């Protein structure tokens, strides 16, 4: 680790330290959302609603593959940051090597286990006869590339955990740039449609993974991809999975929520699913910026938890203020131009109307979803595995009953509003757990939740 990174961990003013860790992550995550939006944009130029529907239906699958990367990456990354705070540098090498090789193995297992079941998977995603073929094409390519996708999400977290936030951002932006170029080629030059868009995503993740592996292998002072440092000790497994499993569960629940949500929307036609697919991608932009802020400060919180708890408290306080300001700014923008934003993807008046409505409603919970991400990040950074697991479960557990009730009471409108209600329930649970754990984390943290 460069001395400059240690400076930001230990001595820089909190505002500068948060900016150092969070801004690159915010830029990187926002770029990743941009290429998700561009996937929909490029397919939208073909004026085929079934293709847009297939893209929306495959979100749960991508969430599961991403979850495997985060299982190792976030769990291992938080552990690495705590180890750095304790100056246990050899153990950092063991954890990073474990993360690298275990993520590849997980991706291979997914590919081998799920490919034979592909038709059943596509049906379970809710594909209609019109979108079945497109959905199957996308799923097939994503499964074949799953080892690279898992590795990408793992390495991005591992690199950031040692304070190399700019390197992490560079890798994410590289992935986005490659994806955009390939999207344009496969749609406008090769005319590969959905298969091309899925292939572009896989290849871009592979390129970024090679970049991260090169950094770890040749430039990082503490991280390594050398197999000779590989260890799977009880301490490593326990600390990685204590935080990684809740993250995995959360991602699975998010995928399941998206799947269940799509099944409810299917009742209202392919246009409802396509409208949600477009609006959810637009919502991802501010959500991922806030998520980037919260994930960006996790290494700083984790390091400070073992080295300087007062600094940890100040970091959390500043992050809360930043979430509030960003949520207000994004909220104003979307209410002014929501119709124009949806209109970038389609010229169908009904699709624009439905997408604009979904976008405006779901933006109401932007602040509380940002705070929920921060609560989860605090629990991850401070090794509060049980609290992190509760946060993971409650997001899915809250949405499912709300969906059933809201759909019966108010149809399509109830389905859309269920997202806001579920976010509010998750926020309340997270705030209560932070209050309960305040003395365990740091006595002065009581000030944060009063």
**Straight-line distance from the first to the last Cα atom of the chain, in angstroms, rounded to the nearest whole number:** 37
Share of the chain above pLDDT 70, in %: 93
Nearest Cα to 407, choosing from 190, 260, 194, 204? 260
Range with the poorest average pLDDT among 151-165, 343-357, 416-430: 343-357
pLDDT tier, 1 (very low <50, low <70, confident <90, very high otherwise): very low
Task: Give the per-residue pLDDT at 243.
Answer: 77
- Please indicate, yes or no, if residue 5 is contained in any of the structural domains: no
- Please indicate, yes or no, if residue 151 is contained in any of the structural domains: yes
Rounded CA gap, 431 and 371, in Å? 9
- Please indicate, yes or no, if residue 4 is contained in any of the structural domains: no
CA dihedral 313→318→324→330, nearest 10 degrees, is -130
For residue 305, give the 3-state DSSP assignment: helix
Mean pLDDT over residues 131-137, rounded?
88
- Please indicate, yes or no, if residue 2 is contained in any of the structural domains: no
- Please indicate, yes or no, if residue 84 is contained in any of the structural domains: yes
Q: Is the pLDDT assigned to residue 43 strictly greater than 80? A: no
Range with the poorest average pLDDT among 163-172, 207-216, 341-350: 341-350
Q: Is the pLDDT assigned to residue 446 strictly greater than 50? A: no
pTM equals: 0.72
The count of domains in the chain is 1
Q: What is the DSSP letter of 344?
A: T
pLDDT, averaged across the chain: 83
Look at 254 and 297; give whichever has higher pLDDT.
297
- Please indicate, yes or no, if residue 3 is contained in any of the structural domains: no
- Please indicate, yes or no, if residue 44 is contained in any of the structural domains: yes
Range of the domain at 95: 11-449
Task: Give the per-residue pLDDT at 178.
Answer: 92
């Amino acid at each position: 680790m460069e001395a400059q990174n240690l400076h930001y961990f230990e001595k820089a003013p909190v505002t500068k330290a948060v900016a150092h860790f969070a801004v690159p992550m915010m830029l990187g995550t926002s770029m990743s959302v941009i290429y998700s939006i561009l996937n929909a944009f490029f397919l939208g130029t073909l004026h085929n609603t079934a293709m847009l529907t297939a893209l929306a239906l495959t979100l749960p699958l991508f969430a599961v593959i991403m979850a495997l990367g985060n299982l190792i990456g976030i769990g291992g990354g938080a552990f690495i940051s705590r180890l750095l705070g304790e100056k246990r540098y050899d153990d950092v090498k063991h954890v990073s090597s474990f993360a690298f090789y275990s993520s590849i193995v997980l991706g291979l297992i997914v590919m081998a286990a799920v490919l034979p079941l592909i038709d059943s998977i596509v049906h379970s995603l809710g594909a209609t006869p019109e979108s079945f073929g497109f959905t199957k094409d996308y799923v097939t390519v994503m499964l074949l590339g799953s080892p690279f996708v898992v590795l990408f999400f793992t390495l991005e977290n591992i690199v950031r955990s040692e304070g190399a936030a700019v390197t992490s951002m560079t890798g994410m932006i590289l992935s986005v740039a490659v994806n955009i170029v390939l999207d344009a080629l496969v749609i406008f030059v090769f005319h590969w449609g959905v298969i091309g868009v899925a292939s572009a995503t896989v290849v871009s993740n592979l390129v970024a993974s090679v970049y991260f592996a090169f950094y770890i292998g040749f430039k990082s002072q503490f991280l390594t991809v050398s197999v000779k440092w590989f260890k799977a000790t009880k301490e490593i497994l326990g600390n990685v999975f204590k935080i990684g499993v809740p993250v995995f569960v959360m991602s699975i629940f998010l995928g399941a929520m998206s799947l269940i949500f799509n099944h409810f929307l299917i009742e209202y036609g392919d246009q409802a699913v396509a409208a949600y697919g477009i609006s959810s991608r637009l919502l991802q932009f501010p959500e991922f910026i806030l998520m980037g802020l919260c994930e960006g400060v996790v290494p700083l919180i984790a390091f400070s938890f073992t080295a300087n708890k007062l600094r940890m408290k100040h970091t959390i306080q500043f992050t809360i203020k930043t979430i509030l300001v960003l949520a207000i700014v994004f909220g104003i923008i979307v209410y002014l131009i929501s119709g124009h934003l949806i209109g970038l993807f389609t010229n169908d008046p009904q699709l624009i109307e439905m997408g604009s409505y979904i976008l405006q409603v779901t933006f109401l919970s932007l602040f509380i979803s940002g705070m929920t991400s921060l609560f989860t990040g605090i629990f991850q950074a401070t090794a509060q595995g049980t609290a992190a697991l509760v946060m993971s479960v409650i997001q899915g557990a809250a949405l499912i009953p709300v969906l059933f009730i809201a759909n019966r009471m108010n149809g399509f409108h109830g389905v859309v509003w269920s997202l806001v209600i579920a976010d509010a329930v998750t926020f309340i649970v997270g705030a209560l757990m932070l209050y309960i754990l305040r003395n365990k984390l740091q006595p002065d943290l009581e000030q944060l939740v009063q």
